[in-house]
């Protein structure tokens, strides 16, 4: 039996290098300790953990279903319990769906999540809410407006060590924001976290 009759949406947002996936997996671990059934979803563009796992910069990882389109969330799946090796052989309706790298799914993720919430499933979402050039990165802003809880994380500015709400692309190649971010998921060789001041200074100097 689910612990709630209606689904709730929790959003973990921020720039690159803010620890969003780490926080998402921490919540997944706690939910499983409580005996809840959790389905972990990633996007295939994120290959840090291979084709069937989510991984963080600190080495934490968990099995995940890696999808290409938000519409695939509607398909019945086998949900992973505390020990996936001993899991059932038939699909379960999860208590919680945890979605990482939400920005890669685009605006179509919004109705897909709404369908899960209508079904009484809690949804935990992590993703970039800002593009490398400082603009809003949908669908995170919309999901943040819909959510019962929003956690906004910051990274550490590579210039001064202050809280960084932005990240900047170091290599200008004419790619779109989505293409650029997708090409370098967590790539420190191509992106840096920046505070507002040092993002402004770089923009004025024409860097990034």
Beta-bridged to residue 69, according to DSSP, are none
Residue 181 counted as domain residue:
no
Residue 162 counted as domain residue:
no
Residue 160 counted as domain residue:
no
* Whole-number pLDDT of residue 202: 87
Residue 188 counted as domain residue:
no
3-class secondary structure, 13: strand
Residue 165 counted as domain residue:
no
- What CATH number is associated with residue 74? 3.40.50.300
pLDDT tens for each residue of 138-190: 999 999 999 999 999 999 999 999 999 999 988 655 444 444 454 445 465 68
Verify cis geometry, omega within 30 degrees of 0, for the bond prior to 139: yes
Residue 111 counted as domain residue:
yes
- 70 within 8 A of 108, measured Cβ to Cβ: yes
**What is the domain extent for residue 55?**
9-154
Domain count for the chain, please give it. Answer: 1
Residue 105 counted as domain residue:
yes
The helix (run of H) or strand (run of E) holding residue 45 is none
Residue 46 counted as domain residue:
yes
pLDDT band at 117 (very low <50, low <70, confident <90, very high): very high
Query: What mean pLDDT, rounded, does the chain reach?
Result: 84
Which are the catalytic amino acids? Answer: 101
Q: Flag whether pLDDT at 80 surpasses 60.
A: no
């Amino acid at each position: 039996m689910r612990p709630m009759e209606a689904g709730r949406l929790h959003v973990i947002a921020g720039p690159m290098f803010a620890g969003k996936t780490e926080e998402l997996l921490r919540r997944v671990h706690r939910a499983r300790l409580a005996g809840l059934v959790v389905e972990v979803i990633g996007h295939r563009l994120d290959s840090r953990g291979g084709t069937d796992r989510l991984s963080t910069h600190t080495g934490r990882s968990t099995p995940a279903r890696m999808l290409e389109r938000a519409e695939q969330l509607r398909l019945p799946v086998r949900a992973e319990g505390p020990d996936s090796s001993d899991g059932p052989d038939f699909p379960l309706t999860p208590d919680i769906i945890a979605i990482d790298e939400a920005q890669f799914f685009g605006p179509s993720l919004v109705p897909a999540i709404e369908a899960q919430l209508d079904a009484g499933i809690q949804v935990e979402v992590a993703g970039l809410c800002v593009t490398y050039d400082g603009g809003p990165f949908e669908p995170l802003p919309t999901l943040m407006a819909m959510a019962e809880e929003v956690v906004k994380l910051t990274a550490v500015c590579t210039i001064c060590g202050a809280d960084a709400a932005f990240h900047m692309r170091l290599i200008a190649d004419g790619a779109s924001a989505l293409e650029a971010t997708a090409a370098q998921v967590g790539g420190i060789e191509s992106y840096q976290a920046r505070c507002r001041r040092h993002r402004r200074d770089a923009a004025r100097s024409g860097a990034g």
